[in-house]
Chain A
Amino acid sequence: MVERGKLDPRSKLFFVATISSFAVGVSDTRMLLFLFILAALALVYLGTGIYQAVHRLGKLIYVVLALAIVQSVLTDAGEPLIRLMGVTILTDYGIERAAQFLLRVSIIITSSFLILTSTTRDLIQGLLQMKLPYELVFMLSIAAKFLPTLRNEMIHKVMAMELQGIDLKGIRMGKKLKAYRYLLLPVTVNSLLKSRELGVAMEMRGFRAMETRTSFRQLRLEGKDYLFMGATAATVIIAYIIIT
């Protein structure tokens, strides 16, 4: 059996890539539903991120609702379900399109959470062994490490603003943009300054001083990884043939 979370990050990337590209490519609601279930099962099996994933998706509900209405109003297709003063507000087609959108986003979010069950270090090593250039991978890892710092800074800045009597949630749209400018400009400039410092610090420690770079730790694809990737590909392709 596969040990929880101990799959090679490359296997997980393969899973995410397969599932996501099918999610974007197909337009059959049942197939999308199947992909979503598959992604959710994999997530439950490999990690504990399912609650966060569901939480994140919960926030999308308004977007989905708005999308259902927009699709219904703007297209002629489908049977009207709700009409208001002669205008079709909601059609079955609109609902289906919204459901498909929800499923696609859910699949992508759920499967991305799968990647997070690997440590950043493993992920970087995996990407490197996939022959991605070190600079690029390193940049990605820095960006990933920057995010919590950035989040912390934003949380504090928003609170500092509120303490000054400016409540971002309670202000008009036009003013909101202005408030966001005051919020984001200093954060952006500070990030740029920080990254410049980081660049100098890296060069001082010999970043790119040598042509080639070797890693002490090497990841190896094992039997369970091949099994997992094979099963993923087979399940998705068979399901695609049966359903569509």
Chain B
Amino acid sequence: MSQNKTRYIEIENISFGYGKGPDLFNNLSLGLDKDEITVLLGENGSGKTTLAKLVMGMLGPRSGRIMLDGVSVEDLALGEVGMRVGYLFQNPDHQIFGATLIDQLLWSFEFLGEDIDLAKGKAEELIRLFGLEGSRDTYPYYLSLGEKRILALASVLMRSPDYLILDEPTSSLDEERAGVLKEVLKNLSERGIGMLIITHDYDFPEGLAHRTIVLSEGRACNG
């Protein structure tokens, strides 16, 4: 056990429940590192998405804390977390803003006055990588669910995060797209980008995951 080493993301004894409801987690601790791909499994409603939102700072724990690179997530603005950790929402609609494919990938760069030429190059690369050329002229709202998910993921990757939290990335993807995704993730991992992959797909993590964790009754167990 590497108890002394601090991990990139440290979830320390957190408890959380929605509103006045009962605890969904009680004293949950988990460390996540940049040099590994962790797969998070668990039944529907076991709290996987909730845990991801807690790590992103979208929800605050009742007690305990979550450290990101040595800083408590609660002390960071969402933007600061988002620049380091890319989060693919379970529902891709939440992340789609643009009126076209290119607009979706570039609008935040334009909006924030960031280097647009650099971003354009990156966008083209991602479009090619994920085979999105055919969807260039479709309004993103009309894309199929799987296409939306890929587009949302491409938007997340535009920001070159250090770590990725992917909430069911393969759900509604066809086999070919899932294969491409796996290759992309493998590549990113080799470049030192860590990942937490939430999934119900038992085949996808084959040959990708370094460890598997099962969330059950508010506890994280090694699977």
Contacts and interface: CB of A to CB of B under 8 A. Distances in A.
Interface in B91-150: 91, 93-99, 107-108, 111-112, 139-141
Interface in B71-100: 77-79, 81-83, 87, 89, 91, 93-99
Interface stretch (A95-103, A174-182, A215-223): A174-182
B89 A156 contact: yes
B62 to A, nearest CB: 19
Interface of B: 56, 58, 77-79, 81-83, 87, 89, 91, 93-99, 107-108, 111-112, 139-141, 159
Interface string A149-163: 000010011011111
A175 B113 CA distance: 11
B94 A160 contact: yes
A166 interface: yes
Contacts of B91: 156
Nearest to B139: A189
B141 A189 contact: yes
A166 B101 CA distance: 19
A185 B79 CA distance: 22
B112 A165 contact: yes
A79 interface: no
A76 interface: no
Secondary structure dominating the interface of A? helix
A166 B111 CA distance: 8
B79 A153 contact: no
Contacts of A162: 77-79, 82
Nearest to B80: A165
B79 A166 contact: yes
Given A163-B78, A166-B112, A182 B98 contact: yes
Interface in A119-167: 153, 156-157, 159-167
Contacts of B58: 159, 163
B111 A179 contact: yes
Query: Which of B81, B82, B107, B112 is packed against the most chain A CB atoms within 10 Å?
Result: B82
A186 B77 contact: no
A186 B79 contact: no
10 contacts: A156-B94, A157-B95, A159-B94, A162-B78, A163-B78, A167-B78, A179-B111, A182-B97, A185-B97, A189-B139
B82 A182 contact: no
A81 to B, nearest CB: 41
Contact of A161 (B97, B139, B141): B97
A190 interface: yes
A173 interface: no
A153 B94 contact: yes
Contacts of B97: 157, 160-161, 182-183, 185-186
A186 B112 contact: no
Nearest to B113: A175
A183 B95 CA distance: 10
Contact of B83 (A159, A161, A165): A165
A166 B87 CA distance: 15
B168 to A, nearest CB: 15
